[in-house]
Amino acid sequence: MGRLGRLAASACVLVGIACAALAVRADERAAGDLPVEQVEKIVREYLMREPEIIYQALEELQRRQAAAEAERQRVAIVENQGALLSDPASPVGGNPDGDVTLVEFFDYRCAYCRRVVPSLRELLDEDRDLRVVFKDLPVLGPDSVRAARAALASRRQNGYVPFHFALMAADDLSMQGIRAVAQQVGLDADQLEADMSAPEVLQTIEANYALANELGIDGTPAFVIGKQLIPGAVDKARLEQLIREARSG
């Protein structure tokens, strides 16, 4: 069951409990304690007479949960600024001294992550004050993990950004396919494969998992800019708007 399904199920239970409590309190005022069967009858009749209250309560509960989660994420972003913006193990693209930093959590097998690539590349070309932090978050199986390890290993050859975008366009993320991509962008494939087992590569991926969990990220892509967490694929116009807001803020 997904997060929304769990929320809906919890909400329905809470609504039922709340309605029962209201019915019991109302009846206690009228006639004291009642048998369970009578309470159940009151609740059932009330829900049949006013079914809209279930949906109203569910909507209000979801609104409150969404607001609480947004605030929790905002606080988590503030508390994890160092890990988000200044972790030396995280690759950086664009202007290293840019005035705005966009952090992306992504997976090389994620179709939505690939959909964002053209917009991100255009922004890096057009906005000379944009800094991008890449957070490899392989969540879609062994091919994702292999590609993330290869990408992080490419830093030892100072080739992360071109290799990253080449991997995002690659159909084959087997070791053979990764070696071919490495050669296409001018990397030493043998060195790359050897460096994939470096302890710091695996440590970086584990740190990204932990950070994503702390922020409440449960899918890719996800972006952090300023104090905002933006889940899912967003278009260039939305990214530009977020960058403008971060600069003005």
Alpha-carbon Rg for the chain in angstroms: 25
Report pLDDT for 189.
97
Q: Reduce the DSSP state of residue 140 to 3 states and report it.
A: coil
| Cα–Cα dist 66/87, whole Å | 29
Report pLDDT for 4.
44
Half-sphere exposure of 173 (CA within 13 A, CB side): 24
Burial code (b: 16+ CB inside 10 Å, e: under 16) for 202-227 equals eebbebbbebbeebebeebbbbbbbe
Ordered per-residue pLDDT tens for the chain, 249 residues = 344 444 444 444 444 545 544 544 444 444 457 788 887 788 778 778 877 777 787 888 877 877 777 777 788 899 999 999 999 999 999 999 999 999 999 999 999 999 999 999 999 999 999 999 999 999 999 999 999 999 999 999 999 999 999 999 999 999 999 999 999 999 999 999 999 999 999 999 999 999 999 999 989 999 999 989 999 999 999 999 999 999 997
The region that residue 5 occupies, defined by phi over 0 for left and psi between -120 and 50 for alpha, beta otherwise, is alpha
| Cα–Cα dist 180/172, whole Å | 9
Q: Reduce the DSSP state of residue 130 to 3 states and report it.
A: strand
Report pLDDT for 8.
47
Q: What's the helix, strand, coil split of the chain in %, to 5?
A: 65, 10, 25
**Cβ contacts of 147 within 8 Å, gap of 6 or more:** 108, 109, 138, 167, 173, 178
Report pLDDT for 32.
52
Strand partners, 93: 132
Question: Cβ(135)–Cβ(106) under 8 Å?
Answer: yes
